[in-house]
Structure formats: C-alpha cells, structure tokens
Chain A
Amino acid sequence: MVKRTSLSSNYAVAYAVKMADVDVIAAYPITPQTHIVEKLSEFIANGELDAEMIHVESEHSAMSATIGASAAGARVFTATASQGLELMHEILHIASGMRLPIVMAVASRALSPPINIWSDYSDIMNARDTGWIIYIVSSAQEAFDTIIQAYKLAENKEVLLPVMVAFDGFVLSHTFEAVDLPEEEEVRRFIPKQVTWYTLDPENPMTLGPLGPPEWYYEFKYQQVVALNKALEIAKQVDDEYGKVFGRKYGLVEPYRLDDAEIAIVAYGALASTAKAAVDEARKNGVKVGLLRLRLFRPSPVEEIAKYLENVKAVGVMDRAISFGAPYGGPVFADIMEALYMKGVDTLLSSFILGIGGRPMYLHDVLTVINKVKEIAESGRRTIETYYIGVRE
C-alpha cells in the first residue's frame, strides 16, 4: 500500500536508499546534503536498515571507500554537495572508469569563493565530463523515484556506470512536500540484489584498476562511451518499467505546453516549477510559450531535445551555473545549442543565467526571460549576448 507522507528531498532520498537495502554507505557531512546521511544513520541505528556507515574523514575518502565497497560486491550509496563534490572529483572519474554501479545524491550548491552554502548547479556542471550518468530532479517525489531508478540503471549489465541524482540545495533538499512511498517489498522486487559487475573475489581473482598503456587505454575509454550511449536507451526503459509498477514516470526530458508553442524556455531542477507557473502566466497574456525541463543531463537526450524544440521560433535556456570564458552562455545552453545544430534545427537561441549562489528566482524573473525570448523571436535576429538576470552590475 502506498503511504503518503511529507518529506524533504533529502529525506525522500534517505527513504529510497533504505528501501534499496543498501549495504554500505560512506559519507562526509556537508550542507545542504547532511540530512540524508543523518536520516540514514538513524535508520541504521534503529535497525531499520541493515547497512554499515563508514564515517570517512573527507569526501575524497567517501568516494574511495564507496568504490572499494562496490568492488567487493556491495550495493553502495554516498551523498555530497559543492566543495565535497569538487574534492571527490578525481575519484569520480575512477568510479565510472572502473564501471562500478555507485549511486550518489547531490544537493546542489554554489562553489567558493566567497563561501556560499546556497543553491546553484556549478558543482554538477564541473562533474559533467566525469563519465557519470547525471539526473537533475525537480521534486521530492522525483528524488525518491529517481534514486530507485538509478540503482536499476546503474546495475544493468549493459550499463554498469555510476549515477548522480542532483537537486537544488535548500529549495528542494530542505523543503517538505507530499511524497508517496511505495511498499519496501515492492521496491526490493523492482531492484533485486544481483551482482552484475566484476568483484574482488578470492575464488575468482581479478586485477581491477591496472595500468593502461597507449595500446589499450583508448579502448577502455571507448567502452565507457558505448555504455553511456546504451544508458540513454536503458534509462527510458527503466522509467517506463517504473511507471508500470509505481504509476509515475518522468521521461528524460519533460515538455510542458510545447505542443502549440511558438517560443520555448529550457530549465532544470526546482526552477522548472517556477517556469511552469510563468508559462501559464504568459499564456494568459497570449504569449504562446512552452517549457522543456531537462531531467537527464548526462548522457544528453539529444533526440528528445531536438524533437520538442524543432518547431519553435526561439529558445531561451536558463542556466544556474556560469561557464567562465565560454563562447556564449551557460553550460546547458551549450548542450542545447549543440544538440539543435547537429540535428539541423535552426532556431534563435539565447542564454540566461539566474539563481546563482541561492539568489531567489521569482516568477517575474522567468517572465523577464520569456519576454526577452519573445522579443528575439519577433526581431528574427540572433543575439550574441548572455543575459544575467537579477545581477547588480
């Protein structure tokens, strides 16, 4: 029986990890992620989750211990944010390169300096090329559902890659919403324990993490490319299966009122909810605008992006991270541009930066974006400016 309860995204993640019957957790405290490991510690302390928590001395060791535990055949979990994700950066590459099905939650937060504990996606964008599968979710319910999907995807024999599930620090991590929790038994049936990867076993000894000379290294990396491509297909299947069992599915991207749209905006994370309200508001004033929410960041769902944006005159991409010195605009803007150009979709693109370091993003901020995109569509001219919404110059 489904149980409706009130949970923050942090707690929703903790419940999902508990239901996934994780064996080993290694984590280090960092705001705004800490509630996840606090809750998991409670579950273990109370005997509700039969797992061991390794109280590591850094995030670097958190990812390292997680790798060790996964390589030994355990189902593992860790969580972090911001500086913590940066500290584990080196080991992120090794987790994916060693093809270990690690699942990690990231309560996204700005990077220092100045030190700032509030939300933006600078941390996630730096992890872009680490070879991880990266979801960015928009609600506590979706955080719960995506953690379960993440184990299913990561442990698929054709994938065997680590998965990161990111959501806005505070705005989602600390905000309570209604969440439907399925039966634990049902979750465990959906993601049964099957060790599909190579492990450290004295009965069948393997050398994991060898030296890869030039005549072999390239093939190792290419296999990661193949696995990530495969992950795109399997992520869809997992979402469909999840939908059948639990009644909720999300797609790799989420279109909102795009059917008859003349212009579009693109968002990810909690901003997408504000953006939906802004689309509704703008439509009341006769602006035919729609929203595309990006849910799977890596691997990039290029087909879906092109499919939903091919018929609009202009697209404004809202980024919550700055790509310093980039040719134009934010990091996701660059992705969208690349996807559309390569798919032969010729539309007027513009880049918007907002919500940096926890700067609030109001309805009127998104309406400002919509108006600008409308102006660009009407002028028919390409813009080379990146719009920094809400900054004091």
Chain B
Amino acid sequence: MTNQYYRSIADLPREELFARGHRMCQGCAAALIMRWLTKAIGKDAIIVNATGCVEVTTTVYPYTAWKHPWIHVAFENAAAVASGVETAIKMLKKKGRIPKDKDIKIVVVAGDGGTYDIGLQALSGMLERYHDVMYVLYDNEAYMNTGIQRSGGTPLYAWTTTTPAGTVWRGERRPKKPITDIVAAHRIPYVATANPAYIVDMMNKFKKGLEIEGPTFIHVFSPCTPGWRIDTAKTIEVSRLAVLTAVWVNYEIENGEFRVTSPVPRRKHVRHYLKLQGRFRHMTEQEIEEFQKYIDKEVERINKLAGKEVIGPVVE
C-alpha cells in the first residue's frame, strides 16, 4: 500500500460525526460502517444517500443522525445526484462563489439494491464521466429495507423472502453479480473491497478513496442481523469468518494494480461461515460442498490476479 493513513485502531479519528439515536437494528453492520465512514471523510464533505436502510433509519423527520450536509433523492439515482453536486461545487469554486481552496469531498452511500440493480446505470454514467466522487456500497446482500428480498448481490443458496428454500428452489440460484469487476472495468483509479471486522484496512481504503482524484468505489461487506438470521452479537464474527473462509476477499485495485490487503494463508471451510446464519440453514451437506467448490474457484481466480498464493488452502 502506497499510503498508510492509519496504522492501528489508536490512530483512528475520535470525533463522532454520526449521531446516536438513529433507528438501525441491533448489530447492524451498516450503522458501524457509517460511523467509521463519517470519521474518515471529516467535516468538509457532502453525502448523497440512495434510498435504503441507512437512509430511512437515519432521517426520520424531524430528526437526523447526520452532521454532514446530506441529500437523498431516490433509489436509483444517487450517482447521478452526486454527479450534479460535484459539478456544481466545481463550478461554484471556479466562479468564486465557494472559496477556491476549500476542499469539499462528495461521497455516495448506497446499498446493494441501489448499486447492483436499480442504480447500476447511473453509477456507470458517473464513473464514465469521471466525477470526483467516492461511492461507498454497503452490501447486506438483499433488499433488507423492504423485508429481505433477493438482489443482484444475494449469494448462492441464500434464503430470502423471494428465494425461499423449498423442494424446487434451494434459496438463491445464482452467485453474486461481480459488481467490483464491473466497476473496475470502467478503469477508474481506485476500487476496493472492505469489511467491518478489518476496521483499519477499511478506514485506510475510505481515506485513499477520498484522496484519489476521480471516481473511487469502496465495496463494504455489511451483515444484516435480521436478514441473515444471525445473532445480533455476531456481526463482527460473521464478518471475520467471511474473510477467513474467503467468501469475502479484502482487496484493492489501484490504477489497475490488484492487491489483496487481508491475505489468508490458512483458510477455513465455508461451513464455519454458513452455520452461523439462518439464511443458509436449509443447505444439505452436498450443497455446502458445492458452495465450497464455487469459493475454491474464486480463490483460484484471486490468486491468479495477485500473481501468488495470497489465499491458502482449506485447513480446517
């Protein structure tokens, strides 16, 4: 990593810019991610939020959890709104209506529905036009705000209310859409994945995403306790297991260069990750092995991209 902004938890900003008293669920990873994100971006930033869990739970009028200037317009257009905000700030600085030396960051916060599915077109447009915006995707792997319906980010075999586990269907039938690959294919300067169990890594990525000029994209793993049917105390445990089983890989692509930031030399079997979550409860031994095979192939792909074995074999 070229820039290491924070070396340990002790380096992280202390000031709270995300107010308490919002209405997110117990154990919600998105709440935690927002708390850290707002610390990373500092005061001089404008947040554009797509419709979703974070938006509805933080802005129940007349209350707000945001200490930043914050705007929500609709579900599918956060990237387009941010394009407008960024362009306006640029023009107003050029015309001297905002001090020219004032550095105002533009940050999008959107869920998987608002990114993988309904917001993909607006996102693609924003990336292609090269707006100086950091887009943060908190991925809880389904439409949790409307009550756990599958999205393009829902993983293979996951139960949701629209992919129930029955005799014909066994939960979601397709693996997650490779959203970071799609975003990276736009050849933007910085794309990264992050995970709330690896806070220092996540914070460095937020910081880097902000500092790099042009569009940047941070894809954050975001367990949803009611949607994933997990114990509200186990959000971080599930997050960490996602990395240790390589169901989730923390990496970054900086100017086209791929690097895994959380190597896993000795990998755990996916069973350890799946068994903590009610959404995978219906899976048979054979289905668990099929899921393992899918992850093995992904690991192979990641190692190939890294040019060395950054994710090791399954040892337990």
Give A residues with C-beta under 8 Å from B: 23-24, 26, 50-52, 54-58, 60-62, 64-74, 76, 90-91, 94, 98, 193, 199-202, 204-213, 216
**Also in contact, A208 and B81, with CB within 8 A (given A51-B91, A55-B129, A73-B88):** no
Residues on A with C-beta less than 8 A from B70 are 200, 205-208
Tell me the complex Cα distance, A54–B79, Å: 12
Quick one: which of B58-87 are within 8 Å of A by CB?
59-62, 64, 66-74, 76-77, 79-87
Q: Which of B40-48, B163-171, B178-186, B251-259 contacts A (4 or more CB under 8 A)?
A: B40-48
Tell me the complex Cα distance, A21–B307, Å: 53
Interface size on B, residues (CB 8 A): 48
B95 engages A72 (CB within 8 Å): no
A64 engages B122 (CB within 8 Å): yes
Whole-angstrom distance between the Cβ of B110 and the nearest chain A Cβ: 13
Tell me the complex Cα distance, A28–B226, Å: 41
B60 engages A211 (CB within 8 Å): yes
A200 engages B59 (CB within 8 Å): no
A202 engages B92 (CB within 8 Å): no
Whole-angstrom distance between the Cβ of B182 and the nearest chain A Cβ: 15
A24 engages B43 (CB within 8 Å): no
* 7 chain-A/chain-B pairs, Cβ below 8 angstroms: A55-B129, A57-B125, A60-B77, A64-B74, A65-B81, A204-B69, A216-B61
Q: Does B173 contact A (CB under 8 A)?
A: no
Whole-angstrom distance between the Cβ of B120 and the nearest chain A Cβ: 11
Whole-angstrom distance between the Cβ of A213 and the nearest chain B Cβ: 6
Residues on B with C-beta less than 8 A from A62 are 80
B88 engages A90 (CB within 8 Å): no
Give B residues with C-beta under 8 Å from A: 43-46, 48, 55-56, 59-62, 64, 66-74, 76-77, 79-92, 94-95, 97-98, 104, 121-122, 124-125, 128-129
The count of A-to-B residue pairs whose CB atoms sit within 8 angstroms is: 158
Residues on A with C-beta less than 8 A from B56 are 211
B61 engages A213 (CB within 8 Å): yes
A54 engages B83 (CB within 8 Å): yes
Name A58's contact: one of B44, B64, B82, B121 (CB within 8 Å). B121
Name A68's contact: one of B43, B85, B95, B124 (CB within 8 Å). B85
Name A201's contact: one of B69, B81, B86 (CB within 8 Å). B69
Nearest B residue to A60, CB-CB: B77
Residues on A with C-beta less than 8 A from B86 are 68
Residues on B with C-beta less than 8 A from A70 are 84, 88
Whole-angstrom distance between the Cβ of A221 and the nearest chain B Cβ: 13
Whole-angstrom distance between the Cβ of A18 and the nearest chain B Cβ: 15
Beyond A23-B92, A72-B88, 11 additional pairs, beta carbon < 8 A? A23-B95, A52-B90, A55-B129, A57-B124, A57-B128, A58-B122, A61-B77, A64-B73, A66-B84, A200-B85, A216-B61
Name B64's contact: one of A65, A67, A210 (CB within 8 Å). A210
**Also in contact, A65 and B72, with CB within 8 A (given A72-B46, A72-B89):** no
B60 engages A68 (CB within 8 Å): no
Name B66's contact: one of A26, A52, A72, A207 (CB within 8 Å). A207
Residues on A with C-beta less than 8 A from B61 are 210-213, 216
Name B72's contact: one of A69, A205, A208 (CB within 8 Å). A208
Residues on A with C-beta less than 8 A from B79 are 61
List the 9 shortest-distance A-B pairs measured between CB atoms, nearest first: A68-B84, A65-B84, A72-B88, A57-B125, A210-B59, A61-B80, A64-B80, A64-B77, A74-B88
A68 engages B69 (CB within 8 Å): no
A52 engages B69 (CB within 8 Å): no
Tell me the complex Cα distance, A54–B86, Å: 10
Nearest B residue to A72, CB-CB: B88
Whole-angstrom distance between the Cβ of B115 and the nearest chain A Cβ: 15
Name A202's contact: one of B44, B62, B125 (CB within 8 Å). B44
Whole-angstrom distance between the Cβ of B99 and the nearest chain A Cβ: 11
Tell me the complex Cα distance, A264–B55, Å: 53
**Also in contact, A60 and B76, with CB within 8 A (given A68-B81, A200-B46, A208-B70):** yes
Residues on A with C-beta less than 8 A from B59 are 207, 209-211
Nearest B residue to A61, CB-CB: B80
Name B74's contact: one of A24, A90, A204 (CB within 8 Å). A90
A210 engages B84 (CB within 8 Å): no
Residues on B with C-beta less than 8 A from A50 are 91, 94-95
Residues on B with C-beta less than 8 A from A24 are 84, 87-88, 91
Tell me the complex Cα distance, A61–B68, Å: 24
B125 engages A56 (CB within 8 Å): yes
**Also in contact, A67 and B84, with CB within 8 A (given A72-B46, A94-B73):** yes
Nearest A residue to B128, CB-CB: A57
Residues on A with C-beta less than 8 A from B77 are 60-61, 64, 91
Whole-angstrom distance between the Cβ of B117 and the nearest chain A Cβ: 15
Tell me the complex Cα distance, A211–B145, Å: 13
Name B82's contact: one of A51, A68, A205 (CB within 8 Å). A68
Tell me the complex Cα distance, A303–B166, Å: 64
Which of A58, A60, A209 is packed against the most chain B CB atoms within 10 Å? A209
Tell me the complex Cα distance, A207–B61, Å: 9
Nearest A residue to B125, CB-CB: A57
Tell me the complex Cα distance, A363–B191, Å: 63
Tell me the complex Cα distance, A25–B79, Å: 16
Residues on B with C-beta less than 8 A from A66 are 84
Residues on B with C-beta less than 8 A from A72 are 46, 84-85, 88-89, 92
Residues on B with C-beta less than 8 A from A56 are 80, 83, 125
A210 engages B72 (CB within 8 Å): yes
